[in-house]
Each structure stands twice: as structure tokens, then as C-alpha cells.
Amino acid sequence: MSAALEISDLHAWYGESHVLHGVQMKVEQGQVVTLLGRNGAGRTTTLRAILNLTSRRTGSIRIQGAESIHLPTYRVAHLGVGYCPEERGIFASLSCEENLLLPPVLGGAARGGMSLAEIYAMFPNLLERRRSPGTRLSGGEQQMLAVARILRTGANLLLLDEISEGLAPVIVQALGRMIRTLKSKGYTIIMVEQNFRFAAPLADHFYVMEHGQIVEQFPAAQLPQKQAVLDSLLGI
Amino acid sequence: MTELFGVPVQALFGQLLLGLVNGSFYAILSLGLAVIFGLLNIINFAHGALYMLGAFGAWMGLQYFGLSYWAMLVLAPVIVGLFGMLLERLLLRRLYKLDPLYGLLLTFGLTLLIEGLFRSFYGVSGQPYSTPPLLQGGVDLGFMYLPLYRIWVVVASVLACLLTWLAIEKTRMGALLRAGTENPKLVEAFGVNVPLMISLTFGLGVGLAGFAGVLAAPILQVSPLMGSNLIIVVFAVVVIGGMGSILGSIVTGLGLGVVEGLAKVFWPQASSTVVFIAMVIVLLVRPAGLFGKES
């Protein structure tokens, strides 16, 4: 079975600005990996480059074995990619349920999406707030909504950008439980996270980025040995 | 002859109806402009020229192909819509990342091209277009004479605007459009073919303009300049109504048409400027427009 995601020599630009300098990454099916690094290291850009949301990119990005470097954004999505941006992107002019139902169920390589009933079972507070305008939800509810709506599409490679950011510890714990549930269901998840304590117990593999490149990577088993390296790279 | 506010009743209600008719055109055109600006961030100065193309389409359909008004009422908007999609694909697409001013310049240039082309073939005096037999004549209500065709224009315009409003506010396609207006990249990341959606939206907006053109043909002279006479006022209507609301465009368009009509009765010297006076007042008091969303 091919890897969920295989990135080779990825370079990316925002306009004239050369932001990614040869990113190399291989994520197996069902893995949860986390992209660490300081602000500006290129973590969010890597996620965006996977979806062709940067101005230009070169290299190779294979999703479920299919080469996607030449595809427009909407076709990359149909390879089974779900994206949860850092700013969450909840639409103000739509209600909570309209937001949830907005992304179309993906064709192509994606597995069947979760039904609305299954989503509401997993996120009961979204059921309660389903008629509220999207932006009237609390931060935690908006984050749940942002993840829930990509689960409905059938995406199986989830790109989550800073989902714990700015949320109360209780909500962050709930998000952690959610990630564990998704992992048990076989989703492949790439998390960009500043909150190391949130990401560390969830990840199978760690990547550290600096200046648009991956400078360190190791499996979870090696975390104790690598702690010192992490401290120096991340300045924590 | 009875009088109301010092004006003959027949004249008052006659102008009111004319105001509603003009207001209908304002509503359809400002609706199209607002939808296009919302999603494409393009100020479509060519809207008036495309309205003119609709009217000329109706005239040419009858003149060269013997197609009736009713056939052209369906066909002309489709042709104008397709032509608009071509313009979007080939030309406008390149301008999205830039200041809206470039869209205005390009569409202004297109207007000069299109109007110039038609002027060279047909001159500036208009071509007559007769009212379709079914809608000729009118009803005498006592206090006014009600021409059938003018009522038809108001009804058809309001229907077209309401259908557009329904499509945008109540359907899933409309939800995708509204979301795409807020965050096109994210909507595309969900797997929606946003470039196609943008083309279709432009086509819809200018198709509405073409529809207004066919409605206008029996009332006004079908002239290459009919669009440019109208477009400046339509821009003022859009500014007054605000870009945010579909219903706002409709209400503002109709309302301003009526205000203009009444001005012709009570203060004729001001009738051509009253819309702009209103625009100045709105800009001073509520710059986002009466129904606009403060950003």
C-alpha cells in the first residue's frame, strides 16, 4: 500500500518569496505526525503547499500514490485531503449546520464521509448550536466545527493547523480525545502545533522545521533521547 | 380633472409607474453588479454595454431571424451570459489579484469597444422595437391609464430579482457562492471548482443585464448608447444600496426609480440629479450604503 503522503524536494514561493527549500517527508497510512518549529519556519506553508495554495511550487507531492504537483487546489482536495486552516475559516454568512454541510463529499480516492448523524454523535455541542450563525460559536465550538466539516467529506488525510491555539485546557483535552478517536478509525493526520504538550502524546512521528526545511525527524519512541535537541531547536 | 399635491392625478400615477419601470431596470442591473463585485472583486463597468447587447440581441433576433420577443427574452440573456463568461475566462481572470481599479479600467475599455462597434454599424439614433402583440394596449383605471407592457416589465423584473435572491440565499449553490465570496481559497480547498463557479456567477450577473435589455427594447430606442446613459445612475444606486445585500439592491433600485419619477413631477429640474444627491447624503451619513455590511 502506498504512503498516505510522500513529499520530495518541495520548493514553494509566495510571490517572489522563496519559502520552502526542499522539504522531504513520508507519512504512512494511519500515522499521526506533528510538524514542530518556530514561527516562520514554514510549517503552515508546507500544509498550504500540499493543497497548492502557494503562488508556485516545484518538486513532487504524492497523495495515496498519485502525483499532485500539477493539480489545481480543488483536484488535490479530491485525492482525499481535508484542510483545517489556522484561522479556522468558519463562514460568517452561514449557520453552523450550513458550514458543516458546505464542503462537498469527495469523489475519487476518498473513503465515504461520516454521515451527519455520526458527526453529531461525535460532536454533540454542534447539534445544539446548529442554527447559530457560524461566527457566534465559541472558539472551541468553531474549532470542532472546522474539523467536523472535513470529516463529513470523506477526506482521509487531515491537515490540521494549530487546532489547540487559544483554547481553554478543557477544550484542548477534548480535542486530544478527538484526535485519538480519529486515529483509531484509521485517519492519517498531519498536525502543525505550537503546543508541544498537546501534540507529543498523540504523534507517532515528529518533524522539526527551520527556514523552510525539515532539520530533524524521529519516531515517538526516540522522544526522550531527542528532548535536548528539541529544546535547542524550538527554544522551549 | 382631480389634483393631488397640486399635480394632476393622471400625471402623478403615470410618473409613479414610469418610476417603477426605471426602478426595475436599476434593481436588475445593480443586483448583477453587486453579485459580480462580491465574488470577483471586479467593478463591471461593461454592465451597461451588456444590457445594450441584450436589447440589440432582441432587435437582431427579430430583424434577421424573425424570432419573437418571447424567444429572445430567453435567448438573449443566455447569449449575453455566455459572452460574459468568455470575457471572464480570457480577460478578467488575470485581474483578480490586483486592485479593483484595473477591473474597472478593463471593463470601461470593453464598453468603449462594444459601443463603438455597434455605433459604427447602426449609428446613434435608435432602432424601433415594437411591443409584442400580447402586451399591447392597457387598462383604464380611472385615475390613471395602465399600459400592459409597463406592468409586465415591473412584474418580470421583480420576479427575476426574487428568483436570484432565492437562488443565492436559499440553495446550496448559493451557500457555496456566499462562502466563496468570503474565502474563495478555502472553498476551493474543500474540492469546489471555484474558477468555474466564478465564471458562472459572472455569466449570471451579465445574463440579468441582458434580460433587462430585452425588457427595455420596446420602451426605449434600441441604441448603442442606451447602456452608458443608464450605467452611471446604476453605479450610484449600488453605492446607495450597499454591496452587501441582495434584497438591498432590489429595494434601493425600485425606491430610487420611484424617487426619480416623483422628482420629475414635483421638481423636474432636479430629476436627473436627485439620485446623485441621495448618493452624496448616504456617503456622508452611512458610507457602507443603506443595506451594506460595515467591513
Tell me the DSSP string of A12-35: EEETTEEEEEEEEEEE-TT-EEEE
Count of alpha carbons within 13 angstroms of residue B241, beta-carbon side: 32
Contact call for B183 and A89, based on CB within 8 A: yes
Considering only CB atoms, which chain A residues are within 8 Å of B182?
Answer: 91-93
Q: How far apart are CA A156 and CA A188, in angstroms?
A: 6
Written as one string, the DSSP assignment of A153-218 is TT--EEEEESTTTT--HHHHHHHHHHHHHHHHTT-EEEEE-S-HHHHTTT-SEEEEEETTEEEEEE
Given this model, what pLDDT does residue B117 score? 95
Task: Write the residue in A92, A93, A102 that is nearest to B190 by C-beta.
Answer: A102
Given this model, what pLDDT does residue A123 score? 87
Given this model, what pLDDT does residue B199 score? 94
Task: Name the minimum distance, in Å, from the CA of B84 to any CA of chain A.
Answer: 23
Residue B293 lies in a domain: no
- Cell 470542532 belongs to A144
Given this model, what pLDDT does residue B13 score? 85
Given this model, what pLDDT does residue B170 score? 87
Task: Name the minimum distance, in Å, from the CA of A1 to any CA of chain B.
Answer: 24
Q: How far apart are CA A186 and CA B65, in angstroms?
A: 63
Written as one string, the DSSP assignment of A116-165 is HHHHHHH-HHHHHTTTSBGGGS-HHHHHHHHHHHHHTTT--EEEEESTTT
Pick from A28-32, A221-225, B140-144, B255-259: least confident = B140-144
Q: How far apart are CA A140 and CA A228, in angstroms?
A: 32
Considering only CB atoms, which chain B residues are within 8 Å of A81?
Answer: 189
- Cell 486530544 belongs to A176
Task: Name the minimum distance, in Å, from the CA of B228 to any CA of chain A.
Answer: 34
Average pLDDT of the segment spanning A20-40: 94
Considering only CB atoms, which chain A residues are within 8 Å of B185?
Answer: 53, 73
Segments of chain B scoring below 70 in pLDDT: 1, 244, 293-295
3-state secondary structure B71-120: HHHHHHHHHHHHHHHHHHHHCHHHHCCCCHHHHHHHHHHHHHHHHHHHHH
Task: Write the residue in B179, B189, B194 that is nearest to A83 by C-beta.
Answer: B189
Can you give the residue ranges of every domain in chain A? 30-55+69-234
Task: Write the residue in A85, A93, A94 that is nearest to B186 by C-beta.
Answer: A85
The set of residues, in sequence order, having a beta carbon less than 8 Å from that of A55 and lying 6+ positions away, is A13, A14, A15
Q: pLDDT above 90 covers what percent of chain A? A: 67
Task: Name the minimum distance, in Å, from the CA of B108 to any CA of chain A.
Answer: 29
Considering only CB atoms, which chain B residues are within 8 Å of A113?
Answer: none
Task: Name the minimum distance, in Å, from the CA of A232 to any CA of chain B.
Answer: 35
Residue B115 lies in a domain: yes
Pick from A106-120, A191-205, B45-59, B216-230: least confident = A106-120
The CATH number of whichever domain residue B142 belongs to comes to 1.10.3470
Closest CA to B265 of B28, B2, B15, B9: B15
Residue B159 lies in a domain: yes
User: For residue A8, is pLDDT > 90?
Assistant: yes
Considering only CB atoms, which chain A residues are within 8 Å of B187?
Answer: 102
Residue range of the domain that includes B167 = 3-285
Q: Which CATH superfamily, name and number, covers A30-55+69-234?
A: P-loop containing nucleotide triphosphate hydrolases (3.40.50.300)
Residue B295 lies in a domain: no
Strand partners, A189: A32, A158
Put simply, whether B79 touches A (Cβ < 8 Å) is no
Contact status, residue B249 vs residue B238, Cβ threshold 8 Å: yes
Given this model, what pLDDT does residue B295 score? 46
Query: Which B residues 160-219 touch A at CB under 8 Å?
Result: 172, 175-176, 178-179, 181-183, 185-195
Average pLDDT of the segment spanning A74-89: 93
Q: How many structural domains does chain B have? A: 1
Contact call for A77 and B189, based on CB within 8 A: yes
The set of residues, in sequence order, having a beta carbon less than 8 Å from that of B238 and lying 6+ positions away, is B30, B33, B34, B37, B249, B289
Higher pLDDT, B3 or A180: A180
Residue of B nearest to A150 (CA): B190
Residue of A nearest to B171 (CA): A98
Given this model, what pLDDT does residue B141 score? 80
Which helix or strand (DSSP H or E) is residue A56 part of? Answer: strand A56-63
